[in-house]
Structure 1
Amino acid sequence: MDDQDQQLVFINWLEDHSASVMKVARAYTLNSEDCQDLAQEILLQAWRSVPKFSGKSTAATWFYRVALNTAMNWKRKDKPRRESQQPLIDINVPEPHGPDSSERLLHQEMIENLYQAIHQLPKTDAALVLLYLDELSYQEMAEVLGVTENSIGVKLNRAKKKLATILNGGCDES
């Protein structure tokens, strides 16, 4: 694949899968700066990996696998820096005002709670939940994670239960 073909393939994939990159980056980071850094790292790794794409899986599956592997490696390598780093200042973002502001705030709070809960899951469970939230089929999830399709259902149910327990404040209501 020459450079021009690689660039066209990458641009097409980026248009189709940029939302997935941001979902993965957000799930593996705690602040917007780290999220942006990780998203850039995912895109860099995807660009470097385009020539290795053999077509054995769909572009979506392949792109997700690159994103998840990059995020897991980034989180592991970046852990010492994140643990010792403190924010310079706390920034208070003003609350929006308007007709739908309370609804928007409630929705935003629910999303933040979900991502905080996903952060508490083991890496593979977090990856599986992200794939589920992105509405991938069990077959696509199995391809991304490198497991059998049969195990996806079992693992997904366990991950959902763990997530529900976290979201309910540690109280398992199942």
Structure 2
Amino acid sequence: MTRTRQHIIFETWLMQYRALVFKIVRAYASSLEDQDDLFQEICIQIWNSVNSFKEESSPVTWIYRISLNTAIKWGRNTERHRHEPLENVQHVLQENYVPMDPRLDWLYAKIHQLDDIDRSLTLLLLDDFSYKEMSNILGISESYVGVKINRIKKLLISKLNTYNDHEI
């Protein structure tokens, strides 16, 4: 694959799946600086993976897998590696400012408290992935996906029951 073709695919994927990547970044990194670092790390991994994409899965599944694996690895890494801004994707980092709904902030805070697998499953569930797709992305069985999602829902519902205006 030519470098030009790689760049076109990379740019297309980032533009199409930017919201998905931002969602994962927000779930795995809390500070704005860490979110920027994680976004850059995911972009690097996506760029590096363009040549190895064999179209055995959809691009969204591929991007999700790369993003989640990168976020999990990044979260476990005790040393945060700082990267220079990626000039080729700087325009993707510019998100239009829209005030966040406090309920969405609450949800992200609760998702951030989950362990890596539960956090990943929650994000995949919110994006309407099937249990089969989730099991393929995370490398776990479909039945285990169902069990985990049931437990996550119960946990979030119990936390929602304690949700009140003072937490916003």
- Residue 86 (structure 1) aligns with: none
In structure 2, the CA distance between the partners of 1:168 and 1:32, relative to structure 1 (3 Å rule), is farther
Larger Rg: 1
C-alpha displacement of 1:138: 2.1
Measured on the aligned residues, the alpha-carbon RMSD in Å equals 2.1
Query: Normalization by structure 1: what TM-score?
Result: 0.76
Is 1:63 aligned with 2:56? no
Match of 2:34 in 1: 34
State the aligned residue count.
Answer: 146
Aligned pair partner of 2:110 in 106, 117, 124: 117
Select the residue among 131, 137, 141 that pairs with 1:148.
141
Partners of 1:168 and 1:36 lie apart in 2 by 33
Cα shift readout 1:94-136 (whole Å, capped 9, x = no counterpart)? xxxxxxxxxx97x621111111111111110000001111122
The percentage of counterpart residues that share the same residue type is 44
Give the partner amino acid of 2:20: S
Q: For the residues of structure 2 that align with 1:117 and 1:167, how far apart are their CA atoms?
A: 10
The alpha carbon displacement at 1:33 in A equals 2.0
Return 5+ residue gaps in structure 2 as ranges: 81-97, 164-168
TM-score (norm 2): 0.78
- Residue 96 of structure 1 corresponds to none
Q: Is the CA contact 1:121–1:162 (under 8 Å) kept in the aligned structure 2? A: no
Q: What is the correspondence of 1:80-95 to structure 2 with a 5 Å cutoff?
A: none
Task: Name 1:74's counterpart in structure 2.
Answer: 74
Code of the aligned partner of 1:144: I
In structure 1, give the amino acid aligned to 2:115. Answer: P
For structure 1, the 5+ residue unaligned runs are 82-103
